[in-house]
Chains A and B, each alone.
Chain A
Amino acid sequence: MTALLEAQEVTKIFGGGLLHKRRTVALENFSLAIDNHPPSITAIVGESGSGKTTAARLLLGLTRPTRGTVRYAGKDIWSMPAREWRTFRRDVQVIFQDPYEVYNPFYKVDHVLETPVAKYQLAPTRAAGRALIEETLAKVGLRPEETLGRFPHQLSGGQRQRVMVARALLLKPRLIIADEPVSMVDASLRATILDSLRKLTRELNVSVVYITHDLTTAYQISENIIVLYRGSVAEAGEVGLVVKQPKHPYTQLLVSSIPRPDPDHTWEMEQGASEVGRQADTSVACRFADRCPFAMAICLEKPPPLFQTDQHRAAACYLYQEAPVLATEQMDAVFVVPTA
C-alpha cells in the first residue's frame, strides 16, 4: 500500500559547490511515511542544527533533496505534472513558526484567508467564500467579527497563529506540517492552540507532522516521535517509550535537560555531556560519539544503524547492537497506529 506522503532515503547537502566548498549534510538518509487514515501526529524533535526544519521543507516540496525521493500518493513530487503538484500543494499544508512574519502588514488578515479560497475555487460565490472563512475561524476558536477586517498588528501572536491554523484547515488538507507552531506564543495560549490542532485534525481526518524542539509538547500531542541529531535519526518510536525511557544517550541527555515545572523534581547537579564536542568526522562515526559518555571504539568507526530495541522503538546506538537491525526506510515499522 502506498502511503500518502513518503520520504525515502532522503539526503540534503548544502554547499559543496564551487563557491561554498564546505559541505553541510543537513539531513541524511531520512525516511518517513505518513498516512491520514487513521489520522496521526508524528513529532520530529531536535535542537538547532538537527535537520528538523530541513525535513519539513523536504516534505513540503520547498527544498529539493540531494538524494532520495519524496512521493505524494506514490508519485515523486519533483517529477509530477503541474496538475498533480497543485493537488499536492493543496493537500499538504504548512503552519510556520513565526506568526508575525507570514503576514503582509499592508493587507488585512482577510487576505491570507481569501487568497486560498480564490486560488483553489473553494466556494462558488463571494458570499459562500466568506461563510466558509467564518466557519473555519470559529473552528479554531476565533470570533470572525473580532478577527476579519483587522490588520495583522491588531491581533495578538496567539490569534495570528490561530488564523494560520484556520488558513491551513480551509483547504481541507490531508496532512499539515507544523514547524514550531507555538514556540513564539505565550505559555497560557500554547496549550489552547495545540489542543485545537489535535482535536481538529482528528475530527477532520488530517495527519500532522509536528516539528519542534520541545519534547514536552511533543509527548502531549503526538503518537510517534523521531529524535534527530545532527542530521540523522537517533531514536524513533512510540512517544511514551522514547520520552519516558529513552534508550539513545542523546535522547537521555535531552530528556534530563528539560527544565521540569516541578520544584521537587530538579536537575541533578551533575554535569551533563560536554557542550561543544570535537568536530568528529561525521562521515565515519556516530555523530554523537564526541559527546557520548558511553562511546566505544566501534562508534568512531562507522555510523550506527537503527537497532530495534523494542516492538515500538528503534535507536541508532551500538549499545543495543544485540537487537535486530532495522533498515532506515522501514523505520515506521516501529510506529504505533493510533486507534481511530
Chain B
Amino acid sequence: MSEDILQVKDLHVAYHTPRGPVRAVEGVSFTLKPGERFGLVGESGSGKSTMGLAILRLIKPPGRIESGEIILAGKKLLELTDQQMRRVRLAEVAMVAQGAMNSLNPVMLVRDQLADGLLDHGIRPSERELNRRIAELLEWVGLRPQVAGMYPHELSGGMKQRVVIAMAISLRPKVIIADEPTSALDVVVQRQIMETLRRVQADLGAAVILIGHDMGLMAQFVNRLGVMYAGKLVEVAPVRDIFHEPLHPYSQGLIASLPSLEEKAVFQGMGGLPPSLLNKPRGCPFHPRCPFVMDRCKTDVPAPRAARPNRWVACHLY
C-alpha cells in the first residue's frame, strides 16, 4: 500500500448566515491514494461542493473551515499562510470547477490564459519554450495547437472544458478536484471529456476527486465512492461493492432509484425530502426518510464503522 496523497480528517465547514450556522460539512474524513479516482456523490445541499472548495481552501465568508485537518503530500494545508496556499493551488492540487468553461476570460487568447498559471507560479520560460509547453498541454487534452491562438467564443463547450483541464494539469498537480466537470455538456461530449480526464490523470499519476450527483458517471469513472448526505459522509466503499451491495439505507435508495436501460421496471423513488441544513434532524440525519429507522437513530449520531474490509458505513444497522 502506497502512502496516502491526501488525508482529510474530521473536517467541519459552516456558513454563518443571519438565520444561524449552516453546517455544510460535518466531520468528514477520508484518504486518497496517489493515482486513485475517488467519487463524492450526493444531492444538492449535501455538502459535496463545499468539500472540494475546502480542500483548496477556497471557502469564502460567511463560510469558514471550523476544524479538522487536510494533509496533502505531508503538508498541513490549514496551517499554511495564504501566500503558501497560493503556491500549493494549481501546482499540487487543481480544480476543474462546475461550469468552468464559462470562467474562461472572453477577451483573452487561450494561450495567454494557459500561460497565466505558469507565470503566476514563477515559471518564466522563453517565448519559444512557453509556446512549446502550451502546444504540448493542448495536445495532451486532445486539442489542436492552433487553439492557442483562439478566443473562448470560437470554441465549443467541450473544447472549452478541455482548455480548463489543460489549465488544471499545467503544473502537474498531485490531486485534481473535478466538480461536476461535464454538467452542462451533452452525453456524447461528456463521455469524451471524462475519457480525456482519465487519460491525463493516468499519465500524470494524479489522484482525482470527482464530485457529482450522477451515479452513472461515478460507475464509469471512479475506483472508490463516498456517499454524502446532509453534510456527512455516510458510506465509503470500492465502487463495485457499493453498486452490488450498498450498505447505508440512503445508498440503497439512491441505487434503487436509478432508472435502467436494461429492463423497464417500476420506479423506486425515495420517500421524503432532503433535510434543511439549517435545521438538521437530531441523531442520524437520514432517519426521517429511513425505512429501517430504530429508536436510537433519532438520538444518536451513528459513527463510521468498518462494516466490511476496505469499506465503512455510518449506520446503526451495522
Contacts and interface: CB of A to CB of B under 8 A. Distances in A.
B194 to A, nearest CB: 8
A48 B240 contact: no
B213 A187 contact: yes
A158 B43 CA distance: 12
B260 interface: yes
B220 A156 contact: no
A259 B219 contact: yes
B270 A192 contact: yes
Interface stretch (A31-39, A62-70, A272-280, A306-314): A272-280
A260 B220 contact: yes
Interface string B71-90: 00000000000000000000
Contacts of B257: 187-188, 190-191
Contact of B189 (A191, A260, A269, A275): A275
A259 B217 contact: yes
The residue among A215, A219, A240 with the most chain B CB atoms within 10 A of its own CB is A219
Contact of A271 (B187, B195, B239): B195
Nearest to A192: B269
B158 interface: yes
B44 A272 contact: no
A243 B261 CA distance: 8
- Identify whether the interface residues of A are mostly helix, strand, loop, or mixed: helix
Interface string B176-205: 000000000011111110110000000000
B269 A189 contact: yes
Interface residues of A, number: 44
A259 B191 contact: yes
Interface in A115-138: none
Interface string B238-275: 01100100000000011101111100111111110110
B214 interface: yes
Contacts of A189: 269-270, 273
Interface stretch (A81-89, A250-258, A293-301, A326-334): A250-258
A188 B269 contact: yes
B215 interface: yes
Given A156-B274, A192-B267, A271-B195, A266 B188 contact: no
Contact of B186 (A47, A158, A217, A244): A47
B253 A188 contact: yes
A195 interface: yes
A187 B254 contact: yes
B216 interface: yes
Most B Cβ at <10 Å: residue of A157, A190, A244: A190
Contact of B259 (A188, A191, A263, A273): A191
A186 B44 contact: yes
B259 A276 contact: no
B146 interface: no
Contacts of B192: 271-272, 275
A104 interface: no
Nearest to A274: B192
A170 to B, nearest CB: 22
Contacts of B270: 188-189, 191-192
Nearest to A156: B273
A195 B243 CA distance: 23
B239 A263 contact: yes
A264 interface: yes
A260 B240 CA distance: 13
Contacts of B130: none
A171 interface: no
A39 B44 CA distance: 34
A194 interface: yes
Interface in B5-35: none
B186 A48 contact: yes
B159 interface: yes
B260 A276 contact: no
B216 A261 contact: yes
A203 interface: no
B126 interface: no
B156 interface: yes
Nearest to A239: B264
Interface string A223-257: 00000000000000000100110000000011101
Interface of B: 43-44, 156, 158-159, 186-192, 194-195, 213-221, 239-240, 243, 253-255, 257-261, 264-271, 273-274
Q: Name the 7 nearest CB pairs between A and B, nearest first.
A: A192-B269, A259-B216, A47-B186, A188-B270, A191-B267, A191-B269, A195-B267
6 contacts: A187-B258, A195-B267, A259-B187, A260-B219, A260-B220, A261-B218
Given A186-B44, A188-B257, A267-B195, 6 more contacts: A192-B269, A213-B187, A257-B188, A261-B255, A263-B239, A267-B220
